[in-house]
Structure 1
Amino acid sequence: MHDAQIYKANALVEASYRLSIYEQRVILACISKVRRDEPLTDQKLYRVSAQEIADMSGTQIGTAYQNLKAASERLFERRVSLHASPNGDGKVKVRLTRWVQTIEYDEGGGAVSLRFGTDMVPYLSQLTEQFTRYALADIAKMTSAHAVRLYELLAQWRGAGERSVSIEWLREAFQLENRYSNIRDFKRWVIEPAVKQVNEYSPLWCKWSQRKTGRRVSHLTFTFGEKAKTIPPKARQAKTKGKAGEVSQNSSEALYGIPRTVIESKARPGEGYEDTALRLLSEAKQQSKG
Structure 2
Amino acid sequence: MGDPDRPRGALTYAFDKRLAPLLRESTVFGKLELEVMRAFSTKYALALYEAVARRVRLSQVFSEDFSLEAFRDLLGVADGRLATYSNLKLKAITPAVLEVNALASFGCKVEPRKTGRMVTGVRLSWWRKSVGEMKEAYAEIRRPRVGRKARVRKSVETVTIPHPLLPL
State whether TM-score is above 0.5. yes
Asked whether the 8 Å contact 1:205–1:256 carries over to 2, the reply is no
Partner of 1:187: 89
Report Cα offsets for 1:242-289 as digits up to 9, x if no partner: xxxxxxxxxxxx8679xxxxxxxxxxxxxxx98xxxxxxxxxxxxxxx
User: Is 1:133 paired with 2:35?
Assistant: no
Q: Residue 148 of structure 1: which of 28, 42, 46 is its match? A: 46
Instruction: State the AA in 1 paired with 2:90.
Output: R
Asked whether the 8 Å contact 2:30–2:55 carries over to 1, the reply is no
Q: Residue 215 of structure 1: which of 117, 123, 140 is its match? A: 117
- Structure 1 gaps, min length 5: 1-36, 41-85, 90-126, 232-253, 258-272, 275-290
Q: CA separation in 2, counterparts of 1:152 and 1:187?
A: 19
- Structure 2 gaps, min length 5: 1-11, 139-152, 155-168
Q: CA separation in 1, counterparts of 2:14 and 2:91?
A: 40
Q: CA separation in 1, counterparts of 2:51 and 2:45?
A: 10
Q: CA separation in 2, counterparts of 1:155 and 1:208?
A: 15
Partner of 2:101: 199
- Higher relative CO (Cα under 8 Å, sequence separation at least 6) belongs to 2
Query: Cα gap change, 1:172/1:223 in structure 2, threshold over 3 Å: closer, same or farther?
Result: closer
Partner of 2:4: none
Larger relative strand fraction = 1
Q: Give aligned-pair identity as a percent.
A: 23
User: Is 1:164 paired with 2:65?
Assistant: yes
Q: CA separation in 2, counterparts of 1:136 and 1:180?
A: 28
Partner of 1:230: 132
Deviation of 1:39 (Å): 6.8
User: Is 1:177 paired with 2:79?
Assistant: yes
| 1:17-166 → structure 2 map (5 Å cutoff) | 127-128=23-24, 129-134=26-31, 135-158=33-56, 159=58, 160-166=61-67
Q: CA separation in 2, counterparts of 1:162 and 1:218?
A: 17
Deviation of 1:208 (Å): 2.2
State the TM-score, normalized to the length of structure 1. Answer: 0.36
Q: CA separation in 2, counterparts of 1:144 and 1:87?
A: 35
Q: CA separation in 2, counterparts of 1:162 and 1:88?
A: 27
State how many pairs are aligned. Answer: 120
Asked whether the 8 Å contact 1:142–1:148 carries over to 2, the reply is yes
| 1:244-255 → structure 2 map (5 Å cutoff) | none
State the TM-score, normalized to the length of structure 2. Answer: 0.58
